[in-house]
């Protein structure tokens, strides 16, 4: 019997994502001037106010207020009528020194023996149902909001958009887990005030269906385009008016969108958030590493769908174990346990090895903080950072290194594919 599966996304202007982006902007600035920085930074945003808190061990000094304001302005909160804007909001910093007791479990004389920054389990997932090896419902949800943000910045075809928005896509699957059609799409977007609420709702619905969705579909592979049809149920701003939004409409906190950040409910999640954490925190680095493993395994043909789990004890370099679930999609005679054993031989999962393999001690994190940490484009960009003393630094930074298919040949060799 066919079944439905749903995933959601939220925009860069969603209050929780505003908080994530501020936290990750701080990470990038610390790493730009001191690659050994240890940072765990949380952000709270609400009406006219930003609160920064956390622990830092670094040789550099930053103007955290300016970094927060620049991030807010870049997102698009630049008007006083939003009741939250980068130029006028208050910024309170309660960041302090990292505990020596935590640090002693991480730092080692031999960097290769660096301990895990915390205990816990992390998951990576990949599926061959999309070109970027991501679950289709989540991939489409992200694409809808990325295109909506582009329309907002263009301010041409749609001129009333504000930064806060959410999307959701429901897909019908066959019994053998093949996407059959798009069943429903939900888009809720913040907007300027209209004189007539009924006219407003009709206008927004027409623009989303006739302008936004065709732009999204045009950039999809043909096999995914064919899943769109005239029978899709659209829920556009289903609660009605959405003028009050962003941090004024709802308080935002770092780390509250972990399912949006990962696989949209497919696979599994260990519970640890990513943003605001330097790569010594395995909540972040090991989640990226397991995604890298899962993607390369699926791309190599080990299975159509794979979940990888790794777990750690705080202060211990070697992982407690590696688990693999291929959901019965492995085409040859190997158990999931045998696959996990081979994975542990191919991929060094000690925290320092992960940092080195994925180049995680570079300021690559701001780009991860909206529209998902997984399934994104691996590319190199130029980024410039500045300190309060006027010193600037321009770096070429490789983004989303865990999305590279650089281990496919090694996997094929190990599995005799």
- Residue 355: per-residue pLDDT: 97
Residues 306 and 346 in one domain: yes
Q: Which residues, other chains included, contact 263 with Cβ-Cβ below 8 Å and sequence gap of 6+?
A: 125, 134, 135, 138, 269, 374
Beta-sheet pairing, 252-253 with 179-191: unpaired
Q: Which of 275, 246, 255 is nearest to 78 (CA)?
A: 246
Of the three residues 201, 218, 245, the one that is the final residue of a domain is 245
Q: Cα(248)–Cα(49) distance, rounded to whole angstroms?
A: 9
DSSP per-residue codes, 325-348: E-TT---SS--HHHHHHHHHHHS-
Q: Which residues are annotated as a binding site for K(+)?
A: 42
User: What pLDDT, on the 0 to 100 scale, is given for residue 117?
Assistant: 79
Strands (DSSP E) found in 174-248: 179-191, 233-236
Residues 241 and 363 in one domain: no
Answer for the pair 389, 397: CB distance below 8 angstroms, yes or no. Answer: no
Q: Are residues 289 and 380 in the same domain?
A: yes
List C-alpha distances in Å: 84 to 54, 73, 75, 369: 23, 10, 12, 19
The 3-state DSSP composition of the chain as helix, strand, coil percent (nearest 5) reads: 35, 25, 40
Residue 307, in any domain of the structure: yes
The CATH number assigned to the domain holding 194 equals 3.30.300.10
67 three-class SS: helix
Cα torsion 341, 376, 235, 15: sign: positive
Binding residues for ATP: 14, 164-166, 241-242, 250, 256-257, 273, 277
Q: What is the pLDDT of residue 99?
A: 59
According to the model, what pLDDT value does residue 100 have?
A: 58
For residue 314, give the DSSP letter.
Answer: B
The structure tokens listed for 313 are 């004890």
Q: How many domains does the chain have?
A: 2
Both 297 and 378 in one domain: the answer is yes
| Residue 171 lies inside a defined structural domain of this protein | yes
Same domain (yes/no): 302, 371: yes
Query: Residue 27 corresponds to which tokens in the numbers above?
Result: 């990470």
364 with 407, same domain: the answer is: yes
Q: Is residue 217 part of a domain?
A: yes
Q: Does 172 reside within a domain?
A: yes
Same domain? For 339 and 368 the reply is: yes
Strand order in the sheet with 305-312: 120-127, 305-312, 321-325
Do 213 and 320 lie in one domain? The reply is no
- In the listed set 245, 264, 289, which residue is the last one of a domain according to the structure? 245
CA distance 271 to 122: 8
Distance CA 49, CA 164 (A): 17
Task: State which residues of the chain have pLDDT below 70.
Answer: 99-110
Residue range(s) defining the domain that contains residue 390: 120-128+281-414
Q: What is the pTM of this model?
A: 0.96
Establish if 104 belongs to a structural domain: no
Domain-embedded: residue 177:
yes
pLDDT (0 to 100) of residue 51: 98
Instruction: From 245, 272, 289, give the residue that closes a domain.
Output: 245
Q: Are residues 241 and 286 in the same domain?
A: no
- Is the separation of the CB atoms in 406 and 297 below 8 Å? no
pLDDT of residue 115: 84
Which residues participate in the annotated binding site for L-methionine?
55, 98, 250, 281
Q: Are residues 297 and 402 in the same domain?
A: yes
Pairing of strands 252-253, 305-312: unpaired
Helix locations, 252-331, DSSP H: 258-261, 282-300
Instruction: Clarify whether residues 294 and 388 are in a common domain.
Output: yes
The per-residue pLDDT for range 1-21, each reduced to its tens digit, is 799 999 999 999 999 999 999
Give a yes or no: residue 182 inside a domain.
yes
Tokens of 24: 């990750």
Domain assignment of residue 67, yes or no: no
Tell whether 124 and 158 lie within a shared domain: no
Annotated binding site: 14, 16, 42, 55, 98, 164-166, 241-242, 250, 256-257, 273, 277, 281
């Amino acid at each position: 019997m066919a079944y439905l599966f749903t995933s959601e996304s939220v925009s860069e202007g969603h209050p929780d994502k505003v908080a994530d982006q501020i936290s990750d902007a701080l990470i990038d600035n610390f790493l730009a001037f001191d690659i050994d920085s240890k940072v765990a930074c949380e952000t709270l945003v609400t009406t006219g106010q930003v609160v920064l808190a956390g622990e830092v061990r670094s040789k550099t000094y930053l103007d955290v207020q300016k970094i927060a304001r620049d991030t807010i302005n870049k997102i698009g909160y630049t008007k006083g009528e939003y009741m939250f804007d980068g130029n006028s909001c208050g910024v309170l910093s309660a960041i302090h020194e990292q505990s020596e007791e935590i640090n002693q479990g991480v730092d080692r004389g031999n960097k290769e023996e660096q301990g895990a920054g915390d205990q816990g389990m992390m998951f990576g997932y990949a599926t061959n149902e999309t070109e970027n090896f991501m679950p289709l419902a989540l991939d489409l949800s992200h694409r809808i909001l990325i295109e909506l943000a582009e329309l907002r910045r263009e301010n041409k075809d749609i001129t009333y958009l504000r930064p806060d928005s959410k999307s959701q896509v429901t897909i019908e699957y066959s019994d053998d887990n093949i996407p059959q059609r798009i069943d429903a799409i939900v888009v809720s977007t913040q907007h300027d005030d209209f004189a007539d609420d009924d006219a407003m709702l009709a206008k927004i619905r027409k623009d989303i269906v006739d302008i936004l969705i065709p732009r999204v579909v045009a950039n999809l592979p043909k096999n995914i385009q064919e899943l769109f049809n005239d029978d899709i149920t659209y829920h556009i701003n289903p609660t009605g008016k959405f003028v009050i939004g962003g941090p004024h409409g709802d308080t935002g906190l770092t780390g509250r969108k972990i399912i949006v950040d990962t696989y949209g409910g497919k696979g599994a999640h260990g519970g640890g958030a990513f943003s605001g954490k330097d790569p010594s925190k395995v909540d972040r680095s090991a989640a990226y590493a397991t995604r890298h493993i899962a993607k390369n395994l699926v791309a190599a043909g080990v299975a159509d769908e794979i979940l990888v789990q790794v777990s750690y004890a705080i202060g211990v370099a070697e992982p407690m174990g590696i688990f693999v679930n291929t959901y019965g999609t492995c085409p040859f005679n190997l158990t999931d346990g045998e696959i996990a054993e081979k994975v542990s031989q191919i991929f060094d999962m000690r925290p320092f090895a992960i940092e080195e393999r994925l180049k995680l001690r570079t300021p690559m994190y701001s780009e991860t903080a909206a529209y998902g940490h997984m399934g994104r484009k691996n590319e190199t960009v130029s980024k410039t950072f500045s300190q309060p003393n006027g010193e600037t630094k321009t770096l070429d930074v490789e983004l989303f290194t865990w999305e590279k298919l650089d281990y496919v040949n090694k996997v094929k060799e190990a599995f005799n594919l």
